[in-house]
Structures are given as structure tokens and as C-alpha cells.
């Protein structure tokens, strides 16, 4: 089989880190017999420069047809003053919305060689490997009614009201719960669902629906529930107690950013956004590093390509069913880090072997070959 992939390098360091992913893909084609049908297109500021919009319709169409999309990063100072409707991040939002990518996967994995980069002590995070599944397309960021009232409410100082509505349907909760249970089956087989059922109606519904999906469809997976505020405490106190965490859009936004700091550099963090299954049974999917376009280091060969390469590893696992090759790639990265190979962002007090963006890519290829 040939795997289709749409590459959208984007802006800033996006094209630089994507060049290293291309090398990795080439290695798997040459050495593991994988075959990719790759197309490349523009997104973000790069698309705006050519088309006047941050994502052309033809690109959107292509994204709907491929097995997976891999995106670098969008944005940069050049585009900061553009009208809201054509800002680079609108390209990203359009992809998420039109592909209906409702499950955002944020792994927090602590490589042993980088444990001292964590915001927590080495003994708390060494070997950490958790996965936060955040609902991405509903909840308080989208619920109606929303808005800021006219300045006409009597009796209050200032008189204005800002409104957002946390709203979930059972269908929205069930589909993201299913995604979390499916993922757990391929990992530690445990899901912890987080909400605030003590103070929110949507939280009560969330808990009931996750429990329903568990009891009816995934009784083999171990399910627990936790209030999200306690979850925040537990993530910092003892993060290794978790396997898969499933939570709503707002709590997931905050908890996944907190979890990211358990692992160290922004240059190491991958993500995936998954939607409904396609005809081939695999989910619609877009993969991207968590970091942005890093204009402060763009064009200097300083960017760490590992976040983007790990995002490709997630594509191997979740879109192409190549779990063994995904694990091989992750192992190669672990080895390179253990050998002390470091881009600037990973250069700590203990030093290491300094490399450029492409030097890191080359080291990973060498490790793949050596494994």
C-alpha cells in the first residue's frame, strides 16, 4: 500500500523542521519498504502571500482526501497586522473545522536524557508517558449564546456582561470518549475522565456519557473519573499515575499546556488532531508540532526538528497503522538524546554535542540505521 500525505510546511521554522521529516520519510522508504504519495502545499502566511488567504480551497480539498496532513507552523511578525479573517492561524482553524477534527491528542512523554529539563524533579517525571485527549470542536469556546452586552444593564457598575456558554451534546462527548478508549487499548488500557461534575451540568453529562460508552462498548478498559482541578494537582504531584486523560475543550487546553511543561522543551512536543473514521477505517487526521513558527530563530538552522518528527511518528501509528515503525523512530530519537546530541533549546547545564536542525535530522537517520 501507498500512504498519502499532505505536507503543509507553513511559515518560519515550519519549512526547516519539515525538511528533516522529509529525510526521515526517505529513510523509511529506502530501508523499510514503506511507500508514500506526498503532496506539498501552502498554509498560513505563505499561502496568504500567494493567494491572499491563509488556506486555498484546493488545499482544503486535498486535505479532505489524503490519509494524513502534516503541518509545520504558521504565523510571524510580517502577518501580525493582517485583518482577522486572513490571519495565518485562520488557515489552521479552517483545516480543523472542515475536517471536523474533534479529538486533539497531546502526548506528554519524558525522555530520560531530558528529565532535568522538566519543571518537576527527575524522580517525579522519569519515564513519564501519558496522553491527553482534548475535545477540540465544542464546549465553551464555541457554545451559544456568546458575546459582550451593550453598556445598558442597570444596577451594575459599568453595566456590561461578557457571556460564553459551556454546551455539550451527548454525541460530542461519546465520540471523543470512544477515541480515548480506542487509544487506551493500544497503550496502558486506562482512561481517566476529567470534568467538574460537582459544579457544572455539562460536567454531569460528560461523566454520565463517558461512563455509558465505557459500560456499553469498552468494559475491558479501566475507567476512572476525576474533578479537573484535582486533575491539575495530580498532574503535578504524581503524573505517572495516568495513562490516557480525556477532557473537554477548556480543561484540555489548560491541562495539556501544564502537562507539556512536565517534559521540557517546546521543541520536543508533537500533537495529533483526529476526526471521524474514513472509508478505510482510519480517522481523518492532522499532525503538527505544538510549537509555533519561532520567528526569533527562523532561518538560522537552530530549530529542533524533533517535535515535527515525533508528529510524523504519530501519523505512522494512527493513520498508517505502522506502530512498529513509529516505535522504531521514537527509539532512534531516544538514542540520539541519550548520546547527548543537542539543538540549542536542549542545551542544558551538562552540555552536549551541539547540532543544527539538519545535524539533528542526520543524527536521527544514523540512529535509525544503527538500531
Q: Which one of the listed residues 253, 287, 320, 345 is annotated catalytic?
A: 253
Cell of 86: 486572513
Q: Is 182 in the site for Mg ion (CB under 5 A)?
A: no
Please give the size of the binding site for ligand NAI, defined by CB under 6 A.
Answer: 21
| Rounded CA separation 43/71 (Å) | 8
How many Å apart are CA 118 and CA 289, to the nearest integer?
18
Work out which of 69, 125, 303, 326 binds ligand NAI, going by CB under 6 A.
Answer: 303
| 78 marked ligand binding residue | yes
d(CA 175, CA 265): 31
Do residues 86 and 52 make contact, with C-beta atoms less than 8 angstroms apart? yes
Query: Does the annotation mark 196 as catalytic?
Result: yes
Binding mask 62-81 for ligand NAI (x = CB under 6 A): -----------xxxx-----
CB distance 227 to 194 below 8 Å: yes
**11 part of the active site:** no
Nearest to ligand NAI of 10, 239 (CB atom): 10
**Residue-by-residue DSSP string for 217-234:** H-TTSEEEEEEHHHHHHH
Question: Please, which residue, 87 or 175, has the CB nearer to ligand NAI?
Answer: 87
Asked about 229 being catalytic, the answer comes back as yes
What angle, 0 to 180 degrees and rounded to 10, lies between the N-to-C axes of helices 323-338 and 14-32?
120
* List 41, 196, 243, 320, catalytic entry: 196
How far is the C-alpha of 8 from the C-alpha of 293, rounded, in Å?
A: 13
Q: Is 314 in the site for ligand NAI (CB under 6 A)?
A: no
Our CB check for ligand NAI shows the closer of 266 and 366 to be 266
Kindly provide the b/e burial profile for residues 43-77, where b requires at least 16 CB atoms within 10 angstroms of the residue's own CB.
Answer: bbbbbbeeeeebbbeebbebbeebbbbbbbbbbbe
Residue whose CB is nearest to ligand NAI in the complex, by number: 292
Positive or negative: CA dihedral 293, 51, 136, 200 = positive
Q: Is 296 in the site for ligand NAI (CB under 6 A)?
A: yes
The residues in 274-293 that bind ligand NAI, with binding defined as CB under 6 A, are 288, 291-293
Shortest distance in whole angstroms from residue 229 CB to Mg ion = 17
For 242, list phi and psi in degrees, rounded to 5: -95, 155
**Residue 359 interacts with ligand NAI (CB under 6 A)?**
no
Annotated binding site for NAD(+): 76-89, 292-304
Annotated binding site: 76-89, 96, 106, 134, 229, 253, 257, 292-304
Annotated binding site for Mg(2+): 229, 253, 257
Residues at the site binding ligand NAI, with contacts judged by CB under 6 A: 13, 73-76, 89, 92, 266-267, 288, 291-297, 303-304, 307, 345
Amino acid at each position: 500500500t501507498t500512504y498519502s500525505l499532505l505536507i503543509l510546511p507553513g511559515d518560519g521554522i515550519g519549512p526547516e523542521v519539515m525538511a528533516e521529516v522529509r529525510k526521515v520519510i526517505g529513510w523509511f522508504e529506502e530501508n523499510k519498504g514503506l511507500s508514500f504519495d506526498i503532496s506539498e502545499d501552502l498554509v498560513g502566511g505563505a499561502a496568504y502571500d500567494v493567494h491572499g488567504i491563509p488556506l486555498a480551497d484546493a488545499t482544503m480539498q486535498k486535505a479532505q482526501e489524503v490519509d494524513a496532513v502534516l503541518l509545520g507552523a504558521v504565523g510571524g511578525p510580517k502577518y501580525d497586522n493582517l485583518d482577522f479573517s486572513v490571519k495565518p492561524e485562520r488557515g489552521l482553524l479552517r483545516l480543523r473545522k472542515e475536517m471536523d477534527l474533534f479529538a486533539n491528542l497531546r502526548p506528554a512523554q519524558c525522555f530520560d536524557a531530558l528529565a532535568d529539563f522538566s519543571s518537576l524533579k527527575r524522580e517525579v517525571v522519569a519515564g513519564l508517558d501519558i496522553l491527553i485527549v482534548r475535545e477540540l470542536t465544542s464546549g465553551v469556546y464555541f457554545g451559544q449564546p456568546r458575546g459582550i452586552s451593550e453598556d445598558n444593564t442597570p444596577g451594575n457598575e459599568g453595566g456590561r456582561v461578557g457571556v460564553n456558554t459551556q454546551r455539550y451534546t451527548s454525541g460530542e462527548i461519546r465520540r471523543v470518549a470512544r477515541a480515548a478508549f480506542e487509544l487506551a487499548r493500544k497503550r496502558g488500557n486506562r482512561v481517566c475522565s476529567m470534568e467538574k461534575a460537582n459544579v457544572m451540568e455539562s460536567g454531569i453529562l460528560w461523566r454520565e456519557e463517558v461512563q455509558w460508552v465505557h459500560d456499553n462498548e469498552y468494559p475491558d478498559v479501566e475507567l476512572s473519573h476525576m474533578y479537573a482541578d484535582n486533575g491539575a494537582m495530580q498532574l503535578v504531584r504524581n503524573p505517572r499515575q495516568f495513562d490516557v486523560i480525556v477532557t473537554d475543550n477548556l480543561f484540555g487546553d489548560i491541562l495539556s499546556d501544564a502537562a507539556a511543561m512536565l517534559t521540557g522543551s517546546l521543541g520536543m512536543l508533537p500533537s495529533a488532531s483526529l476526526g471521524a473514521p474514513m472509508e478505510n477505517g482510519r480517522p481523518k487526521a492532522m499532525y503538527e508540532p505544538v510549537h509555533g513558527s519561532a520567528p526569533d530563530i527562523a532561518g538560522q538552522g537552530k530549530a529542533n526538528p524533533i517535535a515535527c518528527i515525533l508528529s510524523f511518528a504519530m501519523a505512522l501509528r494512527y493513520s498508517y497503522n505502522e506502530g512498529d515503525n513509529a516505535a522504531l523512530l521514537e527509539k532512534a530519537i531516544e538514542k540520539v538524546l541519550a548520546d547527548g546530541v543537542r539543538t540549542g533549546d536542549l542545551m542544558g547545564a551538562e552540555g552536549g554535542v551541539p547540532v543544527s536542525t539538519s545535524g539533528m535530522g542526520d543524527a536521527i537517520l544514523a540512529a535509525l540505521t544503527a538500531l
